[in-house]
A and B are shown apart, each in its own frame.
Chain A
Amino acid sequence: FSDPASNLGLEDIIRKALMGNMEERPE
């Protein structure tokens, strides 16, 4: 791994947590 954030799978966790609420947001 060259990127510590990738090492932890951080981006995936962050995207899922962010999108979880996006789906609930009324357009």
Chain B
Amino acid sequence: NRMHLVCPMNTSPQVDPQKSGHSIWEEFSMSFTPAVREVVEFAKRIPGFRDLSEHDQVSLLKAGTFEVLVVRFTSLFDVKERAVTFLSGRKYSVEALRSMGAGDLLNSMFDFTEKLQALNLGEEEMSLFTAVVLVSADRSGLENVNSVEALQESLIRALRSLITKNHPNEIAIFTKLLLKLPDLRSLNNMHSEQLLAFKVHP
């Protein structure tokens, strides 16, 4: 009857079968809530984000938080060792996580991590890219799509000029980064499917 919740935002992938579904979910929530709050704090510092309507700020954050977290937590995925570090600091091998039910999402996360790390972005570049990721999140339900698109364009322009300045001979990095956006969207969709399929029994 052993259950698993294979998400590095959890302290451990193993779930105590004695605990109720409610308390498992409460504990998991306590683990990922600080990470979500950090994404909100990050969003607040994106120039122009607070000028969007409150409704659109919330919509973008709802749609884009996971994508931002994927970028931020690629450091938890050790591509060489094929292992993932969970919140407790303990590392679990891909084989171990597979035996706990991890599937395609895990492979896709490693692919994404490997490609992103290969670009060797600096801190400022990564931060600007992450801002682009957030404002490029799914547009459904937005009140003012034009304002979001204007913000997205200005951030993409800033990213392009930063990459051009830092890597004058490697402008392909910029194109590769923009191609990460659809990858993130598909990771987000896979993650949503996992969430919907996850059931905790009382």
Among A1, A9, A10, A15, contact of B196 (Cβ-Cβ < 8 Å): A1
Within 8 A of B (CB), among A1-27: 1-2, 4-5, 7-11, 13-15, 17-18, 21-22
Give every chain B residue within 8 A of A10 (Cβ-Cβ).
Answer: 36, 61-62, 65
Judging by beta carbons under 8 Å apart, are A15 and B58 in contact? Answer: yes
Within 8 A of A (CB), among B18-60: 29, 32-33, 36-37, 40-41, 44, 54, 57-58
Indicate if B192 sits at the interface (CB-CB under 8 A): yes
- Identify the interface centre among B41, B62, B195, B196: most chain A CB within 10 Å of its CB: B62
**Residues of chain B at interface, number, CB under 8 A:** 19
> How far does the Cβ of A16 sit from chain B's closest Cβ, in whole Å?
8
Given A8-B32, A9-B29, A21-B44, does the pair A14, B65 have CB atoms closer than 8 Å? yes
Judging by beta carbons under 8 Å apart, are B33 and A13 in contact? Answer: yes
Please measure, in the bound complex, the distance between the C-alpha atom of A10 and the C-alpha atom of B41, giving whole angstroms: 14
Give every chain B residue within 8 A of A8 (Cβ-Cβ).
Answer: 29, 32, 195
Main DSSP-derived SS at the A contact region:
helix
A14 to B, closest residue via Cβ: B61
Judging by beta carbons under 8 Å apart, are B196 and A7 in contact? Answer: yes
Given A8-B32, A9-B29, A21-B44, does the pair A14, B196 have CB atoms closer than 8 Å? no
Judging by beta carbons under 8 Å apart, are B40 and A14 in contact? Answer: yes
Give every chain A residue within 8 A of B63 (Cβ-Cβ).
Answer: 5
A2 to B, closest residue via Cβ: B196
What are 25 A-B residue pairs whose CB atoms fall within 8 Å in the complex?
A1-B195, A1-B196, A4-B191, A4-B195, A5-B63, A7-B196, A8-B195, A10-B36, A10-B61, A10-B62, A10-B65, A11-B62, A13-B33, A13-B36, A13-B37, A13-B40, A14-B58, A14-B62, A14-B65, A17-B36, A17-B37, A17-B41, A18-B57, A18-B61, A22-B54
Chain B residues packing against A (C-beta within 8 Å): 29, 32-33, 36-37, 40-41, 44, 54, 57-58, 61-63, 65, 191-192, 195-196
